[in-house]
């Protein structure tokens, strides 16, 4: 049996390669997913944010057992057990509170509820009644970790794995045959002092307010409700396939990949000036497009205050795309915002193994 690392919402675990996403709901804070093999559901994962330092895991398990009972038709015989300790290694319990359980009906399941940090996670692995599945359950349970504080969050679906900076939270996803999309949003964690000053200075001129700098933080005194709110950065990762079908209408172009991109993303890049570079040293055809939003007053003389205002409003847009010849797919990474979009795109691109 071949195995792979699966990640979602900061939770990572090893699973057989034949298991794939079949159900998904919620968000990065509270959610649910299910993995199936070609024959049956195999794994369920639930996670929820908690403010309690010592949540009652037995109460959580009671509610979970109630949910299982509702799922089955009346008259179906079910048996439940709690305090099931399949894992004996003490290091597994370091930094987290764990409660094991099992149940049996037309199928059987083993599960864990564990609390670590500010999250409660339930993982349940299901199998047939006469299936020798204990080694599978143990490997999954021993591998599961909550890496919510890691620099990069792993996201996996249908052979695609990507690492995204932790400040980006999943906003939406599309998981379709021939097309995958992960869309993220984040408030920038770093701002240049000049940019913050520019926004405050322009607000002061418009609102006749005053500026005060205390402990390195700039605030508007007269109109505190109008203090600037940091713009949100956006990041998306897309996978298209088959690549030869996507590029078929542009096969006569000098660069079919760039021609496809400009046609496909014409609306997204409208209003931006781009510098395009290609990576000829790579085994796969790669393009990087770095752009900045153009303004009506570009090239017009302006005052120092307007210069700062112009700087603060300038939006950077970076695309990195490539055609993976071995997997016959096209990958497109897009980052937009006032932070270092190019660095973000590079980190995500380096995390993806396309074949």
pLDDT for 272: 85
Nearest residue to 19 (alpha-carbon basis) of 65, 181, 334, 2 = 2
Q: How is residue 241 annotated by DSSP?
A: S
How high is the pLDDT of residue 193? 44
Structure tokens given for 350: 């380096």
Q: Which helix (H) or strand (E) holds 348?
A: helix 341-351
- Domain 3-148 sits in which CATH superfamily? Mog1/PsbP, alpha/beta/alpha sandwich (3.40.1000.10)
Same fold, 3-148 and 179-191+230-351: yes
Q: Taking the CB of residue 146, how many other CB atoms lie within 10 A of it?
A: 20
- pLDDT one-digit tens code per residue, 93-151: 999 999 999 999 999 999 999 999 999 999 999 999 999 989 999 999 999 999 988 99
pTM of full prediction above 0.85: no
For 179-191+230-351, CATH number out of 3.30.565, 3.30.450, 3.40.50, 3.40.1000 equals 3.40.1000
Task: State pLDDT tens for residues 48-68.
Answer: 999 999 999 999 999 999 999
For residue 306, count CB atoms less than 10 angstroms from its CB and return exposed for 0-12, middle for 13-18, buried for 19 or more. Answer: middle
Residue 27, CA distances (Å) to 8, 46, 141, 170 in order: 10, 11, 23, 7
Task: Check residue 294 and give its pLDDT.
Answer: 66
Parse the chain into domains and list their residue ranges: 3-148, 179-191+230-351
Q: Which two tokens stand for residue 218?
A: 């700039």
pLDDT at residue 41 is higher than 60: yes
CB 121 within 8 A of CB 9: no
Residue 195, pLDDT score: 46
């Amino acid at each position: 049996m071949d195995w792979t690392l699966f990640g979602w919402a900061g939770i990572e675990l090893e699973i057989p390669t034949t298991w794939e996403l079949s159900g998904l709901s919620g968000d990065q804070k509270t959610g649910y997913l299910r993995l199936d093999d070609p024959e049956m559901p195999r794994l369920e994962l639930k996670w929820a944010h908690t403010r309690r330092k010592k949540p009652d895991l037995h109460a959580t398990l009671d509610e979970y057992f109630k949910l299982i009972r509702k799922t089955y038709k009346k008259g179906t015989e079910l048996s439940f057990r709690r305090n099931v300790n399949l894992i004996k290694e003490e290091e597994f319990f370091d930094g987290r509170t764990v409660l094991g359980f099992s149940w049996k009906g037309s199928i059987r399941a083993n599960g864990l509820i564990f609390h670590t940090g500010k999250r409660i996670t339930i993982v349940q692995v299901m199998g047939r009644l006469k299936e020798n599945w204990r080694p599978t359950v143990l490997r999954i349970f021993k591998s599961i970790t909550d890496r919510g504080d890691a620099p990069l969050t792993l996201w996996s679906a249908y052979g695609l794995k990507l690492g995204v900076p932790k400040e980006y939270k999943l906003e939406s996803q599309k998981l379709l045959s021939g097309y995958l999309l992960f869309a993220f949003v984040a408030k920038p964690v770093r701002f240049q002092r000049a940019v913050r000053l520019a926004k405050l200075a322009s607000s002061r001129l418009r609102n006749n307010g005053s500026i005060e700098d205390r402990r390195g933080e700039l605030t508007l005194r007269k109109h505190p409700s109008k203090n600037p709110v940091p713009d949100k950065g956006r990041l998306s990762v897309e996978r298209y396939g088959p690549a030869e079908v996507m590029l078929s209408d542009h096969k006569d172009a000098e660069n079919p990949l760039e021609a496809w991109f400009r046609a496909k993303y014409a609306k997204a890049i409208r209003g931006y000036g781009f510098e395009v570079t290609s990576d000829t040293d790579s085994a796969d055809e790669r393009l990087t497009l770095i752009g900045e939003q153009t303004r009506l007053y570009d090239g017009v003389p302006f005052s120092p205050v307007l210069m700062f205002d112009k700087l603060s409003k300038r939006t950077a847009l970076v695309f990195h795309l490539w055609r993976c010849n071995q997997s016959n797919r096209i990958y497109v990474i897009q980052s937009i915002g006032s932070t270092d979009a190019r660095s973000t795109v590079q980190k995500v691109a380096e995390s993806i193994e396309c074949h």
